[in-house]
Amino acid sequence: MTAIPGEVAPPGALRRLRRIRHYPSLIVGLAMFLPIVLGSIIVPILSPHGATEQQPGRQLLAPSSEYLFGTDIFGMDIMTRTFAAARYDLGIAIVAAFVGMAIGVAIGALVGYVGGKTDEILSRIIEALQAFPAFIIALAVLSVLGSSVVVLGGVIALVQLTYYVRTMRAQALSLRERAFVESARAIGLPTSSILVRHIVPNGVRPLIIQVMINVGDAILLISLLGFLGLGTQVPTPEWGSMISIGLESAVTGEWWVWVFPGGGIILTVVSLNLIGDGLRDVLDPRQGG
């Protein structure tokens, strides 16, 4: 494309930003995800009913103008609790996923670049952790340490950092043989500088995309643990525990008690996967130019 005289060509990042409209999965994902995030902030503040407020005589009311999502067996407003649970589940999932990514990237980049015995030992540890399903590891840790926000977030970070370690290690093994890394070694740059300036920036791109999908996986794990009673306890709002309570009323026709928190899980996880797919298309160098 011929540049117009006097016009400055936009940088690559700006060109990709302008091309976002060409990626429907990203647009749809954001359109689904942003209302959930905004609702989790605004609804618990503006709602006349507290997320943990139990109202005697108001149990299992169907959706109405007063209670848009109805009430549960304790008389608590399901709409307020559903959006408050989004804040709880998303908060833990996002923090845990990014902590797992940060630790996994640091470890993977170091052992992949340095190699040797440390690389071999760590690879065996990662393989051992990956041999067990994430739910089994979470179940074992929570059984020993008890259920709390810190322990739950730490478990999720632990089970997810294995992916980041393995992927970043593979990236580092490839990048350390590249000419620009060999040049950096030749001029005497310390290992820490090479890792920070060359290995991590060039190897982290696919992990940024994956972290969105891992946030969705973390929400599913949190909800499953809450459903089984291993996560947060009532009256703290959490999607999994809300569904567990709601299923007790499902057989008598009070569908709203579990449908709305279940819908929150589905919409959030689907939107995060769509955002991840859209980011993959936007950031893929083959899509540039």
In tens, the pLDDT along 227-255 reads: 988 878 888 899 999 998 888 787 788 89
| Calculated CA dihedral for residues 268, 269, 275, 278, nearest 10 degrees | -140
Token digits of residue 201: 């920036």
What's the token pair of residue 131? 């041999």
Q: What are phi and psi of 77, to 5 degrees?
A: -70, 120
Q: What per-residue confidence (pLDDT) applies to 224?
A: 92
Give residue 18's pLDDT. 62
Distance between CA atoms of residues 264 and 268, nearest Å: 6
Alpha helices (runs of H) in the chain, residue ranges in sequence order: 12-18, 24-46, 78-114, 116-130, 134-145, 149-175, 179-186, 191-194, 200-203, 205-227, 239-250, 256-283
Task: Label residue 71 left, alpha or beta by phi (over 0 means left) and psi (-120 to 50 means alpha).
Answer: beta
**Nearest alpha carbon to residue 112 among 189, 202, 188:** 202
Using DSSP's 3-state secondary structure scheme, residue 9 falls into coil
pLDDT of 142 reads 87
pLDDT at 37 over 90: yes
Share of the chain above pLDDT 70, in %: 90
Q: How many CA atoms lie within 13 A of 88 on its CB side?
A: 29
What is the average pLDDT value for the chain, to the nearest integer? 85
**CA dihedral in degrees (275, 278, 279, 284; nearest 10)?**
160
In this prediction, residues 127-135 reach a mean pLDDT of 84
Region 103-108: mean pLDDT is 90
Which residues, in sequence order, are bridge partners of residue 270? none
pLDDT on residue 286: 55
For the segment 216-222, the average pLDDT, to the nearest whole number, is 93
State the pLDDT confidence band at 5, using cuts at 50, 70 and 90. Answer: very low
Q: What six digits make up the tokens of 16? A: 């990709």
Average pLDDT over residues 4-20: 53
Each domain of the chain, given as residue ranges in start order, spans: 25-45+76-284
pLDDT at 144 (0 to 100): 86
First to last CA, the chain: 10
The pLDDT of residue 4 is 43
- How many percent of the chain have pLDDT more than 90? 38
Query: CB of 184 within 8 A of CB of 198?
Result: yes
CATH topology (fold) of 25-45+76-284: MetI-like fold (1.10.3720)
Residue 287 has pLDDT above 60, yes or no: no
Looking at residue 6, what is its pLDDT?
A: 42
